[in-house]
Amino acid sequence: MGRKVILATCSLNQWALDFDGNLERILRSIEKAKSVGAKYRLGPELEICGYGCADHFYESDTLLHCFQVLRKLLESPVTQDIICDVGMPIMHHNVRYNCRVMFLNRKILLIRPKMLLANYGNNREFRWFSPWNKLRHVEEYFLPRMIQDVTGEDTVPFGDCVLSTKDTCIGSEICAELWNSRSPHVDMGLDGVEIFTNSSASYHELRKADHRVNLVKSATTKSGGIYMFANQKGCDGDRLYYDGCAMVAINGDIVAQGTQFSLDEVVRTSLTASHLGPACWLWDYLRRSGQAGFLLPLSGGVDSSSTACIVYSMCVLVCQAVRDGNSQVLEDVQRVVSDVSYTPVDPRELCGRVFTTCYMASENSSEGTRNRARDLAAQVGSSHMSLNIDIAVKAMLGIFSMVTGKWPQFSANGGSTRENLALQNVQARIRMILAYLFAQLNQWALGKPGGLLVLGSANVDESLTGYFTKYDCSSADINPIGGISKTDLKSFLQYCAEQFQLTALKSIMAAPPTAELEPLADGQVSQTDESDMGMTYSELSVIGRLRKISKCGPYSMFCKLIHTWREALSPLQVAAKVKHFFKMYSVNRHKMTTVTPSYHAESYGPDDNRFDLRPFLYNTRWSWQFRAIDDQVGIQHRGHILIFHFPQPAWEFSDEARP
Ligand X SMILES: Nc1ncnc2c1ncn2[C@@H]1O[C@H](COP(=O)(O)OP(=O)(O)OP(=O)(O)O)[C@@H](O)[C@H]1O
Ligand Y SMILES: NC(=O)CC[C@H](N)C(=O)O
Ligand Z SMILES: Nc1ncnc2c1ncn2[C@@H]1O[C@H](COP(=O)(O)OP(=O)(O)OC[C@H]2O[C@@H]([n+]3cccc(C(=O)O)c3)[C@H](O)[C@@H]2O)[C@@H](O)[C@H]1O
Identify what 425 binds: ligand X, ligand Z, ligand Y, none; CB under 5 to 8 Å per kind: ligand Z
Q: How far is the CB of 296 from ligand Z (least distance, A)?
A: 15
Q: How far is the CB of 363 from ligand X (least distance, A)?
A: 11
Q: How far is the CB of 297 from ligand X (least distance, A)?
A: 3
Q: How far apart are CA 565 and CA 188, in angstroms?
A: 48
**Catalytic pick among 45, 205, 518, 539:** 45
Quick count: other Cβ atoms within 10 Å of Cβ 490? 18
List the beta bridge partners of residue 524: 521
Number of residues that bind ligand Y (CB under 6 A): 11
- The sign of the dihedral angle between the CA atoms of 198, 201, 204, 206 is negative
* Helix, strand, coil in percent for the chain, rounding step 5: 45, 15, 40
Q: 288 vs 590, which CB is nearer to ligand Z?
A: 590
Active site residue 45: yes
| Residue of 217, 590, 610, 658 that binds ligand Z (CB under 6 A) | 590
Q: Is 498 exposed, middle or buried (0-12, 13-18, 19+ CB in 10 A)?
A: exposed
Q: How far apart are CA 340 and CA 336, in angstroms?
A: 10
Residue 361 sits in the site that holds ligand Y (CB under 6 A): no
Residue 202 sits in the site that holds ligand Y (CB under 6 A): yes
| Residue of 466, 513, 544, 554 that binds ligand X (CB under 6 A) | 513
| Binding residues among 461-500 for ligand Z as defined by CB under 6 A | 466-470
Give the gyration radius of the chain's Cα atoms: 28
Judge contact between 607 and 643, C-beta under 8 A.
no
Q: How far apart are CA 537 and CA 527, in angstroms?
A: 15
x/- site string to ligand Z, residues 531 to 570, per CB under 6 A? -x--------------------------------------
Residue 113 sits in the site that holds ligand Y (CB under 6 A): no
Identify what 424 binds: ligand X, ligand Y, ligand Z, none; CB under 5 to 8 Å per kind: ligand Z
| Residue of 212, 429, 431, 490 that binds ligand X (CB under 6 A) | 431
Identify what 276 binds: ligand X, ligand Z, ligand Y, none; CB under 5 to 8 Å per kind: none
DSSP E strands: which ranges in 143-283? 155-159, 163-164, 169-174, 195-200, 226-234, 242-243, 247-250, 253-257, 266-267
Q: Strand 138-142 to strand 155-159: parallel, antiparallel, or no bridges (unpaired)? A: antiparallel
| Binding residues among 27-56 for ligand Y as defined by CB under 6 A | 45
Q: 468 vs 622, which CB is nearer to ligand X?
A: 468
CA proximity to 158, closest of 202, 104, 95, 116? 95
Residue 617 sits in the site that holds ligand Z (CB under 6 A): yes
Identify what 360 binds: ligand Z, ligand Y, ligand X, none; CB under 5 to 8 Å per kind: ligand X
| Binding residues among 354-383 for ligand X as defined by CB under 6 A | 358-361, 365
Active site residue 175: yes
**Residue 396 to residues 98, 365, 401, 472, Cα–Cα distance (Å):** 55, 19, 9, 15
Cα angle for residues 18, 208, 184 (degrees, 5° grid): 80
Q: Where are the alpha helices (DSSP H) in 224-301?
A: 277-289
Number of residues that bind ligand Z (CB under 6 A): 15
| Binding residues among 156-195 for ligand Y as defined by CB under 6 A | 175-176, 179
Q: How far is the CB of 205 from ligand Y (least distance, A)?
A: 8
Interface residues with ligand X (CB under 6 A) are: 297-299, 301-304, 358-361, 365, 431, 457-458, 462, 468, 472-474, 513, 515, 529
Catalytic residues: 45, 114, 175, 299
Interface residues with ligand Y (CB under 6 A) are: 45, 118, 123, 175-176, 179, 200-203, 659
